Structure formats: C-alpha cells, structure tokens
Amino acid sequence: MALNLIMLGPPGAGKGTQAERVARARGIPKISTGDILREAVHAGTDIGLRAKAIMDRGELVSDEVMIGVVAERLERPDVRAGFILDGFPRTVAQAAALDGIMHGRDPLIVIDIAVPEAELVRRLGSRLICDACGVNAEAGETVCRRCGGRLTQRADDNDPVVRERLRVYRRDTQPLVDYYRARSTFRAVDGAQAPDEVAAALAAAIEEVSNAGLGAVSPGGSAR
C-alpha cells in the first residue's frame, strides 16, 4: 500500500521538520505548498509576488490556487509509492477537493500534530529560515543545511503577524480536524514534545494505521 500522508497542525507545530524525516525514511516525496510558494516568491514571478503580499499579512492563499498546484503535483510519477502533504489541505473545501483527487488511490493517513498556542508563539518568534531556498532551520543551525545560505527571520514570524496567523488557523483550518477525525486513518500526536519524541510518536501512528490493513476510505470516513 502506498503511504499517502497528510500532516495537520498549526503554524510552528513542526510539520515541515517531521515531514522531511518521514520522507527520507520512506523514500517518498515531501510535497510542501509552502515551499512551492516560497520558490515562486524567490523567483519573483507574478503569482509569487501576489502570494508574498498575502502571506506577509498572515492570510492564506486562495483555495483555487492551492488545489490546482496540488492536483498537478500529484500527477507526477514520483508519487506512485506515496507522498507527504505538508501545508495542504488547509480548509475543508481543499480537503473535499483532495478527496476527489485521491479517488481510486490508496487511502490518506491523516496525522494531527497538536501544540498549545503559547508554545507556538514562542517557537515562531525565534524561528529562522534560509533566505536563499526557504527551508526552515533546525535548532542550533547557523547556516542552511541544504544550501549553506544565510538564516533570517521570516517576515510573517513577528509577534502581531504570528498571532494573526494562529487566529486564521483556528478559524479556517482547525475545522479540518473535525472533518477527518471520524476516519479510521486519522491519528493525533503530541507535538509539544522534543522533535525525536514527536518523530517516534508519528512513526508509531503510521505503523498502527498501516498494520490495520485498511482499504480505501470514503470521504465520509468509513472504510470500504
């Protein structure tokens, strides 16, 4: 069975770091809409400039744009053994569209990484990214591990914008947990732990679902 994994959780929950770990361990692509958009911003394309203005205000890029980006990406041959989606879906409308995209494929495993808001604010206020390739820095890094670039604070990681991003998350994205919760392939893990402990909990959750031998899961949440 292909490992088709969605990582849910608020900004600062560590979704990107954990998705990279799973992708390396399983040999499947990590598909981050955030990375795709940041690449467009860095390239200075029209959509990149529009997306930058939206993200700098702490708002979300439109469903239409994100659904199109993901649908196109999931048609590539490197996802046949599975994939990890990081940053998509972010709304129930996107989740419903993804159910359509996934028709006829192996089921989605959905992991929610839960972290208290106070910890998220602390993490995001001290987070650094590479100003060349956009990858998030891990603790203790002084230069980018991927390309050696300079690490800087993201424009949308200052305190007022962080709190706005979390408010937007609660309003628009938190309902995804309710959308997926009833599915037999949904699991939640404690993201307030140390990264290695989160990784272990995540691996155990994936193994539990995979060992259950679940068939295709309908959008309503029941196995078929």
CATH for 200 = 3.40.50.300
In this prediction, residue 66 carries a pLDDT of 78
In this prediction, residue 87 carries a pLDDT of 82
In a domain, 183, yes or no: yes
In this prediction, residue 56 carries a pLDDT of 83
In this prediction, residue 223 carries a pLDDT of 40
Secondary structure of 43-61 in HEC code, one letter for each residue: HCCHHHHHHHHHHHCCCCC
Question: Which among 123, 165, 183, 187 is annotated as catalytic?
Answer: 165
In this prediction, residue 99 carries a pLDDT of 95
C-alpha dihedral sign at 147, 149, 151, 154: negative
Catalytic site residue 165? yes
Residue at token pair 């599915």: 183
In this prediction, residue 157 carries a pLDDT of 67
In this prediction, residue 218 carries a pLDDT of 42
Question: Which among 21, 30, 52, 154 is annotated as catalytic?
Answer: 154
In this prediction, residue 188 carries a pLDDT of 93
In a domain, 152, yes or no: no
How many folded domains does the chain comprise? 1
Domain extent, residue 21, equals 3-116+160-211
In a domain, 193, yes or no: yes
In a domain, 217, yes or no: no
Catalytic site residue 123? no
In this prediction, residue 72 carries a pLDDT of 78
In a domain, 123, yes or no: no
Residue positions counted in the chain: 224
In a domain, 141, yes or no: no
| Segment holding 32, helix H or strand E | strand 30-32
Residue 55 to residues 34, 90, 161, 165, Cα–Cα distance (Å):
10, 14, 9, 9
How confident is the prediction along the chain (224 residues), in pLDDT tens digits per residue?
Answer: 899 999 998 888 888 889 999 999 999 999 887 777 776 777 787 767 877 887 788 887 788 777 877 887 888 899 999 999 988 898 899 999 999 999 999 999 999 998 988 888 887 777 788 888 877 787 678 899 889 999 987 776 667 778 888 888 888 878 998 999 999 999 999 998 988 999 999 999 999 998 886 544 444 443 43
In a domain, 176, yes or no: yes
**Distance between CA 123 and CA 108 in Å, rounded?**
29
Name the 3-class secondary structure at 201: helix
Catalytic site residue 52? no
Residue 12 to residues 35, 45, 182, 203, Cα–Cα distance (Å):
15, 27, 25, 20
**Distance between CA 158 and CA 136 in Å, rounded?**
15
| Segment holding 93, helix H or strand E | helix 92-101
In a domain, 142, yes or no: no
Question: Which among 21, 90, 123, 187 is annotated as catalytic?
Answer: 90
In this prediction, residue 6 carries a pLDDT of 95
Question: Which among 15, 21, 52, 73 is annotated as catalytic?
Answer: 15
